[in-house]
Structure 1
Amino acid sequence: MIKKVAAIHDLSGFGRASLCTIIPILSTLGVQVCPLPTAVLSTHTGGFQHYSFLDLTDNMVEMIGHWKELGLRFECVYSGFLGSPRQIAVVADFIDHFGKDNLVVVDPVMGDDGRLYSSMTEEMTRGMRGLVKKANIITPNFTEAAFLLGKDVGLRPGPAELKDWLLALSDLGPETVVITSAPAESERSTAVIAYDRRNETFWKVGCPYVPASYPGTGDAFASVLIGGLLGGDSLPVALDRAVQFIYQCIKASYGFDYPRREGVLLERELGLLKMPVLISGYEMV
């Protein structure tokens, strides 16, 4: 009666990111979240220094073993921030066991704003290129898409070249590729672009650019997307729903004077997920 998502992400104690964002969003959308923590951090890694970091690889293996004994089943496997190269193999095995005939979403969390996160290495980047092969859907931001493809992160590709990026990422394995924070025609706007290989269609959802960056919005976007798909949305409708929610969160947060590294004011906006959504922003390109 309630669909389950195995959420393989870190738990950051402060900063509205990862599991602290994923759990409330998917729960609000009527989905049970079963967390498989990859690491415990005092804060997320975006904008904070000297944070504590506890690698939970061994604990992950124990938890997975118990879940196998219990015969658990999930409608979706959703992976994000991984704490070590070894975890990539652990998650790949998890997908092989629990992801059969189900939705597998890999958010290749590696970096943003043109650079890798401080905990990421070249070995992790290579490993992510292998992990995305096992996904049905991947949701990199523009920076992560560039690293996956070995592209210059300083490029500003046009619409035709962005389609080539989507096709190249799909050639790695995933049936559906979603790139967030993609360049738009105007510097006053941003876009989410997607490719659906099964139907050979490209989608775009644009929104006005707000001159502020908040950590955790990628986690929130992918969570709304997954909740929409599990609830019966088509891909373009789920994309539209996710973009509208993130845009409203950013607009509401931008009006307050507080450190942006704390993330969007999610608690104020969760109720929007229960309200009817005017689906009108997506277009086929």
Structure 2
Amino acid sequence: MKRYATILAIAGSDGSGGAGIQADIKTAAALGCYATTVITAITAQNTREVVSIHQQSETCLREQFYAIYSDIAIDAVKIGMLGSGRMVSAVAELVAMLPPSTPVVLDTVLRSSSGTALLEPRDLALFVEKLFPLASIITPNLPEAAVLLGLPHAPSTPEETEAAARALSGRGAGSVLLKGGHAAGNTCSDCLLFEGSITWLTSERVASPNTHGTGCTLSSAVASYLAKGEPMREAVRKAKDYTTEAIRAGARWRLGQGSGPLLHITGGL
């Protein structure tokens, strides 16, 4: 009997299907992995806005986790939207139960793409303290890096970006992938800090109105490749290539009246 390569996605549910748990499941499936889930919150959202957020209880969170943990091998973890300090603490406690060799990808989700706060500022210090030391890699974008580091503006030069990546690593994260999608220009350059060395990953910027869930997709792709045994640099490179292609494939489609989703199963339509 074959065994699936599995990821455990800990994140919020997006009913429109573009981000959150739904994006994690589609990404894992597209990359030949099997996604199990722990849902931290139910969001009412569409392609235009997050209407409301309904946080799960800690009891619900723990029961979801233990049900999976007691039965299914977990090859990698992806952590997305948590929403509150109490959820941060509970998730940190649960993830710490896994073997130390389990790769943990932390997507530092602070705001939705439409601008809704997904973690209160008062919980930022706890977020860093509890989760950074557990993370094999964190995947902030440039604005998130500025918030996490208390910078007056997002990094805008290669030198500032590299300095921010090192500063974030100094807060306890194993590796840092600082995503450059918010920067200006015709290319998208991501800065990977791994084992003290910087690697720049650059691709042509894809013009698309459909970028809802890009960060969720990239982080769950990294987790999927790590679950399949890829080393960190290769997992990140392949995840970036996959995400870029999913953006390109999704640019041809229309869903809703706002920012639509990526096309995760790129060969399926």
TM-score, reference length from structure 1:
0.81
SS in 1 for 2:39: coil
Gaps of 5+ in 1: 273-285
CA distance in 2, matches of 1:255, 1:34: 30
The residue number in structure 2 matching 1:61 is 62
The alpha-carbon distance between structure 1 residues 155 and 164, as it changes in their structure 2 partners (threshold 3 A), is closer
Partner Cα separation in structure 2 for residue 40 and residue 112 of structure 1: 14
CA contact (8 A) 1:74 1:99 kept: no
TM-score, length-scaled by structure 2: 0.86
Name the residue aligned to 1:190: 188
> SS state of the match for residue 109, structure 2?
coil
Deviations 1:189-224 (A, max 9, x none): 111110112xx3211111122344612011111122
The secondary structure found in structure 2 opposite 1:262 is coil
Asked whether the equivalents of residues 83 and 120 of structure 2 are also in contact (C-alpha less than 8 Å), the reply is no
Match in the other structure for 1:209: 205
The residue correspondences of 1:133-212 to structure 2 (distance < 5 A) are 133-156=133-156, 158-181=157-180, 187-197=185-195, 200-212=196-208
1:139 offset after TM fit, Å? Answer: 0.9
User: Is 1:224 the equivalent of 2:226?
Assistant: no
Match of 2:117 in 1: 118
Letter of the structure 1 residue corresponding to residue 239 of structure 2: A
Q: Is the 8 A contact 1:217 1:246 kept in 2?
A: yes
Aligned length, in residue pairs: 263
Q: Once the 2 structures are TM-superposed, how far is the Cα of residue 65 of structure 1 from its aligned partner?
A: 4.5
Worse-matched range after superposition: 85-94 or 160-169: 160-169
Q: For each residue in 1:77-131, what CA deviation from the matched residue of structure 2 results, as whole angstroms up to 9, or x when unmatched?
A: 2211012221000011012112522112211111367x96334311232222222
- Deviation beyond 4 Å, 4+ runs, structure 1: 65-68
Say if 1:257 and 1:100 are closer, same or farther in 2 by CA, change over 3 A.
Answer: closer
C-alpha separation in 1, matches of 2:252 and 2:68: 44
Measured in 2, the distance between the counterparts of 1:166 and 1:153 equals 15
Aligned-partner SS, 2:96:
helix
Q: Which residue pairs with 1:275 in the alignment?
A: none
Map 1:240-251 onto structure 2 (within 5 A).
Answer: 240-251=237-248
Is 1:80–1:106's contact at 8 Å kept on the other side of the alignment?
Answer: yes
CA shift in 2, pair 1:174/1:119, >3 Å: closer
Alpha-carbon distance, 1:73 to partner: 4.2
| 1:34–1:256 CA distance, 2 compared to 1 (3 A) | closer
CA 1:271/1:236 → structure 2, altered by over 3 Å: closer, same or farther? farther
* Structure 2: 5+ residue stretches without partners: none
Bigger drift between 56-65 and 82-91 goes to: 56-65
The one-letter code matched in structure 2 to 1:161 is E
What amino acid is the match of 1:3?
A
Which has the higher relative contact order, 1 or 2, with Cα contacts under 8 A spaced 6 or more apart?
A: 2
The residue type equivalent to 1:141 in the other structure is: N
CA distance in 2, matches of 1:3, 1:15: 23
